[in-house]
Amino acid sequence: MIYHWEGKDAVAPIAAAIHLGYFPPSVKTGKELHFLLRQQLPFRNGVEQREVGTILQLGQGRKGETVFILAVGRKPDLVLKTINKMLPLLDEDPTNYLFINCKAYLNRNNPMEVKARPRLCGWYNAIGQLVDQVQRNL
Amino acid sequence: MKIIYHCYGRAHSSVVASQLHLGNLPMEGSVTKEAIMAIPEFDLAEAADWGEPYLVGRDAADNEVYILGLNSQAPICIRAMLSLAGHLGQADQILLVNTLAAIGLKTRIGGFMSKKLRCNRIGKPLAASGIISSLPRLRQLVGTVQEELIRKVQDGEEEDHCHYRR
């Protein structure tokens, strides 16, 4: 399970934290969200340029799936293709790997359109919904 | 062990390095431009082939020799490949060799003309001519890789011997 993102913000680290159960799947108030964002979540400010491309293991999910995050920079296609093509060389089955494009999901489900809650909560809850979908399809 | 020679487009320097490694091109003496251009993979790969390791053959020690084009994304892709291999406990099973540093401007211009400008009638011979000029550096690089492989085998044998003695 590899949550990938550009690497500049905390989208994939938050998705991984929700997946692993460290963070709740949704928040109701801004206060609750700010409390979460104040925690020492690894890579909460994104990663540095020299870490883009490094696959970072963050833990193991409830069904035994290993959760990774991967900063891919602005052009993710070639990096993801290279990883996919390398897997058979390392005797791994690519179908056992799930690549989740956090940015694409958030762009599709634009949290700016969520009017019912403060904007940042909408953004967080969209990540929660993404993780929920991923976990249901496991 | 898997040896992956990588460059920008998988069409020139990595192709020649892999052929040197496999012994299809000599490590000493002169090589003609025609011999370089006759290599099947030379000036062949397209942008769609980038990111996909291509198996060229196996060397005398049964190591698999690949070529790979990484465009301008080499540092990111290399980190991804090495960290992936590391997570799978196989970091010592792959050797990534950047061949781009061994070639000069002539090959780069030839490659650009052939691949970007689609003018391979001029670009391919120019790239081959550049490769001839860069051959000493490519040979030195491949020689270093081969020495490294021998050293690894020797280290492995010594380690086995130590285990046996214990």
% of chain A residues with pLDDT over 90: 77
Whether B133 has its CB under 8 Å from any CB of chain A: the answer is: no
Whether B95 has its CB under 8 Å from any CB of chain A: the answer is: no
Domain count, chain A: 1
What is the average pLDDT value for chain A, to the nearest integer? 91
Q: B66–A89: do the CB atoms touch at under 8 Å? A: yes
ipTM score? 0.90
Mutate: best of B63, B83, B93, B95, partner A, most A CBs <10 A: B83
CA distance B23 to B17: 10
Q: A86–B85: do the CB atoms touch at under 8 Å? A: yes
Of B2, B77, B79, the CB nearest to A78: B77
Give the per-residue pLDDT at A120.
78
CA–CA min distance A107, chain B (Å): 24
**Cβ(B95)–Cβ(B145) below 8 Å:** yes
Boundaries of domain holding A28: 2-136
Q: A82–B2: do the CB atoms touch at under 8 Å? A: no
Q: A82–B88: do the CB atoms touch at under 8 Å? A: no
Angle between helices B120-165 and B13-22 (to 10 degrees): 50
Residue bearing the bigger pLDDT, B69 or A115: B69
**Cβ(A15)–Cβ(A131) below 8 Å:** yes
Would you tell me which residues 37-66 of chain A have a C-beta closer than 8 angstroms to some C-beta of chain B? Answer: 51-57
Distance linking the first and last C-alpha atoms of chain B = 27
H or E element in which residue A132 lies: helix A119-136
Whether B79 has its CB under 8 Å from any CB of chain A: the answer is: yes
Q: A68–B66: do the CB atoms touch at under 8 Å? A: no
Give the per-residue pLDDT at B157.
75
- Determine phi and psi for B126, rounding to 5 degrees: -65, -45
Whether A68 has its CB under 8 Å from any CB of chain B: the answer is: yes
Whether A72 has its CB under 8 Å from any CB of chain B: the answer is: yes
Of B50, B87, B90, the CB nearest to A55: B87
CA distance B29 to A49: 43
Q: Which residue of B has its CA nearest to A97?
A: B84
pLDDT values of chain B reduced to their tens digit, one per residue, 166 residues: 999 999 999 999 999 999 999 999 999 999 999 999 999 999 999 999 999 999 999 999 999 999 999 999 999 999 999 999 999 999 999 999 999 999 999 999 999 999 999 999 999 999 999 999 999 999 999 999 999 999 988 887 777 666 655 4
Task: Note the pLDDT tens digit of each residue in A51-97.
Answer: 999 999 999 999 999 999 999 999 999 999 999 999 999 999 999 99
- List of residues 6+ apart from B133 with CB closer than 8 A: B104, B106, B107
CA distance B71 to B48: 11
Mutate: best of B2, B52, B73, B94, partner A, most A CBs <10 A: B73
